[in-house]
């Protein structure tokens, strides 16, 4: 019976994302028709339709949030309406595919490549490897989310927006004015089901991103070899990890990849000028998803400017197309940056805030750029990023060794028309990344560009002598297999809850440190309560949670404690009702700011004296061990 209860929680969770994706197809396909899109095949049509639907849904939800209309019934009615339209679009796709088969219509321009056709055995292997990645990451995505950033803002902010029915401004939450297009997708999933549905949306986004890479690679390496480029993207360990959690890096990389596809169709294949509009809209979606979109836009603008300068005969057409793209970009992205400027006085808050307002903390410290600018550090940076990813944001987000291994082969490969511009864009982006924030997952927007380079290197291996070629094939195949096995290794701890043999509550009790405190707080604390927490994760709390570190940046209450009757009186006067203290044993793992813990311990020691007034009541005190063996202590305290 317990198994059936757990299983019934899994099945609806899969239905909700399916409804969302059907709605995306229903919304995106008509938009694609407005652009006079001539489908090359079903993959092209579905990829563009789904991506446009996701971007449109994010913009609609943003508009509802700005108008204070984020109500579940409103979202549910809109979703069901577009879902019915999506059913009609599926039938149209079926008949269009039948018509193409009768006419024997196959893409011609995209198959003209010196790469030839992908060997059938390699094609079957790619399908098997991609299926392994998709299945392994799907199992992990069925487990309740435990990623720290997800519980801090990717899910917590949509939860708050739904509770308040609007995109409210939270002065003590710096992420609340970030570009939040991907978080609007998660809000959509939360409105219909819950956090696991949001994870599945990001899982599907990873598959859609691989399909977008295929579309980008087709004009360069041919219709069949392009599928290998999509497989390379999925086999990146950092990508398969992103697909298991409601984060936003893959969601931000999808539209930027499609922007390059649209731009190539307009500028290189001389298709309709409306593709420039689509390229700008996708770039705008990338900017609306994450600040890394600004880096991509800068690199993209540099490459386009170089092309305009070199191609005098095409200059007028390119300038007109650039203007159309810029208008579409502003229409999609501007609301997010205008919102930040309105509330913070800085459209890219908190970055460069000390420059804009001559105040604020430096969010680009030296520790975020561990590699120096000397010649040796720059030359060795690809090796350092590959071999020591823990220095650049975590081993789980690593790119893997495939790109590093393919680099020497790419340097000696024959030039491939079109690949040079993509690699120039990747190089400019890498320089900006190197200078501002050396986090390996921020490199994901250029992974499709590097994947095409890897595919061309594999194609060029046919020119090598037999024995070196065989060794290279074995090395590449080994790296592919490792990339396909990694998701299953991660899924080992999630298999029980994904299949219903373990309840989600039991899973969270063992895997999410704050869950036990949240479970008790949800029973004892009212929804109007306000918790000041040393841990930044607050999604599983029904009451409002404010991160102590962020709150003290704006209002340093420590100076008032001595003059206002103690810690409890000070914080209650600020509107807080409870505290959540978090401490880590030893020097390893996440270290929490001990300021609040020290103040509480000092006040508890004073209250232990006979006759002292009791202003702090410890409701729960427990310890948990992380998966890496680090022990943490949590205390839930009521202010009286």
Confirm if 461 and 413 have CB atoms less than 8 A apart: no
What's the sign of the alpha-carbon dihedral 288, 294, 300, 302?
A: positive
The pTM of the full predicted model, rounded to 2 decimals, is 0.92
Check residue 360 and give its pLDDT. Answer: 53
Q: Which residue has the higher pLDDT, 482 or 589?
A: 482
Q: What pairing do the DSSP bridges indicate for beta strands 631-639 and 578-584?
A: antiparallel
Task: Using alpha carbons, select from 586, 571, 577 the residue that is nearest to residue 541.
Answer: 577
Confirm if 282 and 259 have CB atoms less than 8 A apart: yes
Q: Where are the beta strands (DSSP E) in 281-397?
A: none
Q: In sequence order, which residues have a C-beta less than 8 Å from that of residue 282 and are 6 or more positions away?
A: 51, 55, 255, 256, 258, 259, 262
Q: Would the pLDDT of 445 be above 90?
A: yes
Confirm if 473 and 479 have CB atoms less than 8 A apart: no
Backbone angles phi, psi at 419, to 5 degrees: -70, -35
Q: Would the pLDDT of 292 be above 50?
A: yes
What's the sign of the alpha-carbon dihedral 43, 45, 47, 48?
A: positive
pLDDT band at 558 (very low <50, low <70, confident <90, very high): confident
Q: What is the pLDDT of residues 365-383, one digit of tens each?
A: 556 778 888 788 888 888 8
Stretch 83-87: mean pLDDT, rounded?
Answer: 87
Q: Would the pLDDT of 68 be above 90?
A: yes
Check residue 350 and give its pLDDT. Answer: 81
Stretch 176-184: mean pLDDT, rounded?
Answer: 94
Beta carbons within 10 angstroms of residue 11's beta carbon: 9
Q: Which residue has the higher pLDDT, 461 or 364?
A: 461
Q: What is the pLDDT of residues 421-443, one digit of tens each?
A: 999 999 999 999 998 888 899 99
Q: Would the pLDDT of 111 be above 50?
A: no
Stretch 65-87: mean pLDDT, rounded?
Answer: 91
pLDDT band at 340 (very low <50, low <70, confident <90, very high): very high
Q: Give the distance between the most distant pair of CA atoms in the chain.
A: 92
Q: What is the pLDDT of residues 217-260, one digit of tens each?
A: 999 998 889 999 999 999 999 999 999 999 999 999 999 999 99
């Amino acid at each position: 019976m317990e198994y059936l209860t757990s299983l019934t929680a899994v099945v609806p969770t899969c239905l909700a994302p399916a409804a969302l994706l059907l709605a995306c197809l229903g919304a995106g396909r008509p938009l694609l028709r407005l652009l006079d899109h001539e489908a090359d095949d079903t993959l092209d049509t579905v990829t563009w339709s789904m991506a446009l639907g996701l971007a449109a849904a994010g913009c609609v939800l943003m508009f509802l949030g700005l108008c204070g209309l984020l109500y579940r019934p409103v979202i549910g009615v809109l979703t069901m309406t577009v879902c019915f339209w999506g059913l009609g679009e599926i039938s149209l796709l079926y008949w269009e595919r039948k018509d193409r088969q009768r006419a024997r219509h196959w893409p011609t321009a995209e198959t003209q490549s010196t790469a030839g056709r992908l060997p059938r055995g390699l094609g079957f292997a790619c399908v098997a490897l991609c299926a392994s990645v998709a299945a392994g990451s799907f199992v992990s995505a069925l487990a309740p989310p435990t990623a720290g950033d997800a519980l801090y803002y990717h899910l917590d902010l949509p939860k708050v927006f739904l509770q308040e029915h609007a995109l409210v401004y939270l002065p003590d939450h710096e992420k609340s004015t970030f570009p939040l297009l991907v978080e609007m997708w998660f809000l959509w999933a939360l409105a219909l089901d819950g956090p696991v549905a949001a994870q599945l949306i990001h899982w599907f986004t990873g598959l859609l991103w691989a399909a977008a890479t295929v579309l980008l690679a087709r004009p360069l390496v041919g219709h069949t070899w392009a599928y290998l480029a999509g497989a390379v993207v999925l086999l990146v360990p950092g990508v398969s990890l992103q697909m298991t959690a409601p984060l936003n890096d893959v969601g931000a990389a999808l539209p930027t990849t499609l922007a390059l596809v649209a731009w190539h169709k307009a500028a290189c294949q001389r298709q309709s000028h409306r593709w420039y509009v689509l390229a700008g809209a996708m770039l705008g979606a990338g900017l609306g998803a994450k600040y890394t979109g600004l880096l991509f836009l800068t690199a993209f603008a540099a490459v386009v400017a170089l092309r305009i300068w070199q191609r005098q005969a095409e200059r007028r057409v390119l300038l007109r197309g650039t203007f159309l793209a810029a208008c579409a970009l502003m229409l999609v992205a501007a609301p997010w940056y205008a919102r930040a400027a309105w509330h913070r006085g800085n459209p890219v808050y908190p970055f460069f805030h000390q420059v804009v307002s001559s105040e604020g903390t430096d969010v680009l410290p030296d520790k975020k750029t561990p590699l120096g600018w000397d010649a040796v550090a720059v030359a060795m940076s690809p090796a350092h990023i590959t071999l020591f990813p823990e220095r650049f944001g975590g081993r789980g987000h690593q790119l893997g060794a495939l790109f590093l291994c393919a680099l020497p082969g790419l340097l000696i490969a024959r030039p491939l028309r079109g690949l040079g511009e993509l690699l120039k864009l990747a190089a400019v982006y890498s320089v900006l990344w190197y200078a501002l924030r050396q986090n390996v997952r921020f490199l994901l927007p250029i992974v499709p560009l590097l994947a095409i380079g890897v595919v061309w290197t594999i194609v060029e291996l046919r020119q090598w002598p037999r024995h070196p070629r065989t060794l290279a094939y074995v090395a590449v195949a080994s790296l592919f297999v490792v990339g396909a096995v990694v998701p299953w290794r991660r899924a080992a701890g999630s298999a029980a809850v994904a299949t219903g043999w373990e309840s989600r509550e039991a899973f969270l009790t063992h895997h999410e440190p704050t869950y036990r405190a949240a479970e008790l707080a949800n029973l004892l604390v009212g929804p109007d309560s306000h918790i000041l927490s040393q841990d930044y994760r607050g999604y599983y709390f029904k009451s409002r949670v404010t991160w102590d570190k962020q709150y003290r940046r704006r209002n340093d209450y420590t100076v008032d404690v001595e003059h206002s009757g103690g810690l409890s009186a000070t914080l209650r006067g600020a509107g807080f009702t409870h505290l959540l203290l978090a401490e880590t044993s030893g020097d390893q793992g996440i270290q929490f700011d001990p300021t609040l813990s020290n103040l509480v311990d000092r006040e508890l020691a004073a209250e232990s004296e006979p006759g002292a007034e009791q202003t702090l009541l410890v409701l729960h005190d427990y310890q948990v061990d992380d998966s890496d063996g680090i022990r943490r202590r949590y205390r839930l305290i009521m202010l009286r």
